[in-house]
Structure 1
Amino acid sequence: MQQILLVTAPFFALVFCGWIVARAGLLPLEAIPGLNVFVLYFALPCMLYRFAATTPIVRLLDPTVSSVYLLCALLIVALAILATRRGDIGWNDASFGALVAAFPNSGFMGVPLLVALLGQRAAGPAIVALAIDMVVTSSLCIALSRLDSAIEHGVSRAIGNALKGMLKNPLPWAIGLGCLTAATGFRLWEPARNSVGMLADGASPVALFTIGAVLARPQKETASRGVGDVPLIVLCKLFVHPALVLGVGKLAQAIGVPLDDFALVVLVLIAALPSASSIPMLAERFSADTGRIARIVLITTMLSFVSFSVAVAWLA
């Protein structure tokens, strides 16, 4: 356990540093969007491109890994919506509650953390999970969130808006280019490769620091309801999600599906991560209850230092 904490503690310490600096006012709140732009459009795409480009293409296109993770993500979305959509919680808030329950912080935190813990081989399943969450889970939840206004604007328009948002996200494109590089054996011109490497090296520390700063930023609360269903969604994210992935994976193995034990461990640990830190900003953009979503992200991030480390000790 001590060896695991030696790896995980610095990751969470950087998140805490970002939170402290932002709360103390040393980092102006106006600077946080700039950090997000650097991470989302420059550093993180370069990191994901490098991981994808140096991972054997067969690991990135493993249908078993993607099927198991996708099935579990859809089940978590359905479970969260069924558990929370009642009373004054409509499709908008229920859908973003489902997104925050099903979408782990695999981009900013998960990929570099799991590679540090388990080695380069962990990048393949982790990138597959991230791609599914960015392309399918987030698009589905955004489309569902528009059902409250579907009569006025139409479901097709809601789905179209979700797809537009997906196409504007640079991370799937970076993963796709990395997969193409891995498949063709193409190598960037050395100066360009070195530039990509420098940006990739800065992705993890800046992303973790930015997570803390984002969580410290006062959120626009559109309809905050106190505690409400926050504990339920936190439980779903940190415990139900990884347990479901483990159960579905073991069942798949039992019926003869060729799912590698190592890949299953990576998927379970991805599911055990805290909620993605970008969801509160997305919720604010779609007029959901950002106070509720921000609390879930903050609580899962705090608790996961213990729960994730225990999961690693138990599985790995």
Structure 2
Amino acid sequence: MLAVLLETLPFFALIAVGYGAGRIGFFTPEATAYLTKFVFYFALSAMLFRFSANLSIGDLWDWDFVLAYLLAGTSVYVLATLVALFRRRGIEEAAVEAQCAVIGNVGFLGIPMLALLMGEEAIGFNMLVLAVDLVVFGSLIVIVITGGRDGRLKPAVLKTVGLGLLANPMIVSIGLGLILSAARVPIPTPVNDFLILLGAAATPGALFAIGASLATKSAERLAVAGWLSFAKLVLHPAAVAICALWIFDVEPFAAAVMIAAASLPVAGNVYILAQHYGVAPHRVSASILISTFLSILTVSAAIAWVTAPGFGL
């Protein structure tokens, strides 16, 4: 594990640099917001578009993979919801806590880091994880909170969810890339070089932005945040491993990537949703902060396990 820890340290060191810049005020929250927009709308989208344009939907889609990840995530989601309800939290807070337990930072941390540590072939499987997170669980929290407030599910909610997905640049870039691939349209060399250059900014930009955004997070409500961090960093990857290796027939490398992706800390977009709906933002903030720092060890342990000789056999 030590060798893997040393490999992951540069990634977390870059997060620490961003955190330091944010804490001393050198990088303001406004600057962090604009850097995040650059990574989200340009650098990461360029990386995903270029990669998906060189894939076919047949190469990308794997029912065993999707079902294994979906079953594992649903199991942990239900558990986190029941724990919240047992603590007499409302359905809205339960939905937000469940989101913390299953949605990892796949876009900003997982895709760039695992691509470098496990090879570019890991990006496709990360894209599948990201798709399930965005389409299924990302839609679920909006439906539960909105439905809970209105007392029933209105058709307008589904329209809002659909438009939100279509406006997500990661979904759009993957979709456009797959369309280009299906049409067998090659990317011209100058355009490909441009995408490589722009996409190369995704890793340092995303990691720095994660750190800078953590500088504004508080560590309040530590007991609940500790439980949610445990659910995300331990229970989620454990459930994914059980589903991928023993319930479904997921190919070993694909299972390895899925488990590594599940070991990632709570995603920043959960905080955005919590703040938008006014539901437990401080609790989510603390969960992101704690899980990100602890993930230095948990991500390294997960990657060390899934890259060890004989994994999945």
After TM superposition, the score normalised by the length of structure 2 is 0.91
Partner of 1:246: 241
184-193 or 26-35: which moved more?
184-193
Partner of 1:199: 198
CA distance in 1, matches of 2:53, 2:12: 27
Deviation at 1:142, TM superposition (A): 1.8
CA distance in 2, matches of 1:84, 1:239: 18
Tell whether the 8 Å contact from 1:91 to 1:146 is kept in structure 2 after alignment.
no
Partner of 1:168: 167
Question: Over the residues paired in the alignment, what is the CA RMSD in angstroms?
Answer: 2.0
Deviation at 1:72, TM superposition (A): 1.6
Partner of 1:307: 298
CA distance in 2, matches of 1:217, 1:88: 29
Q: Summarize the alignment of residues 221-236 of structure 1 with structure 2, pairs less than 5 Å apart.
A: 226-236=221-231
Matched letter for residue 186 of structure 1: V
Partner of 1:291: 282
Aligned residue among 250, 253, 261 for 2:252: 261
- 1:56-114 per-residue CA deviation (whole Å, 9 max, x = no partner) reads 54331112111111222222222211111245522222111111211111110111211
CA distance in 1, matches of 2:213, 2:87: 30
Partner of 1:84: 84
Q: Summarize the alignment of residues 111-130 of structure 1 with structure 2, pairs less than 5 Å apart.
A: 111-130=111-130
SS in 2 for 1:89: coil
Deviation at 1:229, TM superposition (A): 2.1
CA distance in 2, matches of 1:233, 1:157: 31
Deviation at 1:313, TM superposition (A): 1.3
Deviation at 1:37, TM superposition (A): 1.2
- 1:115-155 per-residue CA deviation (whole Å, 9 max, x = no partner) reads 2111122122111111111111111122112233122x744
SS in 2 for 1:27: coil
Gapped regions of structure 2 (runs ≥ 5): 308-313
Partner of 2:215: 216
Matched letter for residue 227 of structure 2: L
Seq. identity, %: 33
Q: Which consecutive aligned stretches of 4+ in structure 1 deviate over 6 angstroms post-superposition?
A: none
Tell whether the 8 Å contact from 1:59 to 1:125 is kept in structure 2 after alignment.
no
Matched letter for residue 229 of structure 1: V
Deviation at 1:245, TM superposition (A): 0.7
Tell whether the 8 Å contact from 1:135 to 1:172 is kept in structure 2 after alignment.
no
Tell whether the 8 Å contact from 2:147 to 2:154 is kept in structure 1 after alignment.
yes
SS in 2 for 1:188: coil
SS in 2 for 1:229: helix
Partner of 1:280: 271
Gapped regions of structure 1 (runs ≥ 5): none
Tell whether the 8 Å contact from 1:110 to 1:273 is kept in structure 2 after alignment.
yes
Q: How many residue pairs were aligned?
A: 307
After TM superposition, the score normalised by the length of structure 1 is 0.90
